[in-house]
Amino acid sequence: MLAALNVRASMSQLSITIDLDDDGTAGLSAHFVSQRFSGFGEGWFNLSDITEFCRSFEKLANSVEGEAELVAGQFEVDGTDYLECLGLRCYVVSESGILGVHVTLSEYPYTDCRPQEISKVSGELKVEIQSALSFIQGLRSLCSGSVTEAVLVGRR
């Protein structure tokens, strides 16, 4: 039993679900677990932005060069105090086929809260190319409504 807990504790994973809207937008909700830290974040995107991110991330995975990012944030009414609610930044860690996905998630309590009240998590998933390609396909399937979750599991 203790061994199973240690395996789960060392696993890094990102899971994303979607709320599709009729106007060509989608709300992505993300849960991230890494090194015994966990967090939640969500953001609204145009479906075309998610599609472009998938295309860019797929190109990165196939060529092992470049970068891709998908970021949603929130500004105060006066344009200050930007809060990144859901951020995925993808890049090459090793040309031998290891990619990095830096995940940033913030859960804003939607009240007139203090900045200290906002829950945040940030960390890196190191993934194999095939895992990245499966995740990209999962995101595309989320956008079409044919699956309910896309999951990316990091290397141990």
Q: Residue 90: helix, strand or coil by DSSP?
A: strand
Per-residue confidence (pLDDT) for residue 4, from 0 to 100: 41
Listed by start position, the domains of the chain span: 2-146
- What number is the average pLDDT over the span 114-129? 85
Tokens 């797929």, residue? 58
Residue 3 has pLDDT above 50, yes or no: no
Ordered strands of the 83-94 beta sheet: 67-74, 83-94, 98-107, 119-128
Per-residue confidence (pLDDT) for residue 120, from 0 to 100: 86
The CATH class, in words, for 2-146 is mainly beta
Q: Which of 37, 36, 62, 26 is nearest to 140 (CA)?
A: 26
pLDDT tens, position by position, 20-50: 999 999 999 999 999 888 999 999 999 999 9
Per-residue confidence (pLDDT) for residue 115, from 0 to 100: 65
Give the confidence band of 74 by pLDDT, cuts at 50, 70, 90.
Answer: confident
Q: Residue 80: helix, strand or coil by DSSP?
A: coil
**C-alpha neighbours within 13 Å on the C-beta side of residue 115:** 8
Q: Which of 97, 96, 104, 139 is nearest to 34 (CA)?
A: 104
Which phi-psi region, left, alpha or beta, contains residue 79 (left: φ > 0; alpha: ψ -120 to 50)?
left
Per-residue confidence (pLDDT) for residue 14, from 0 to 100: 97
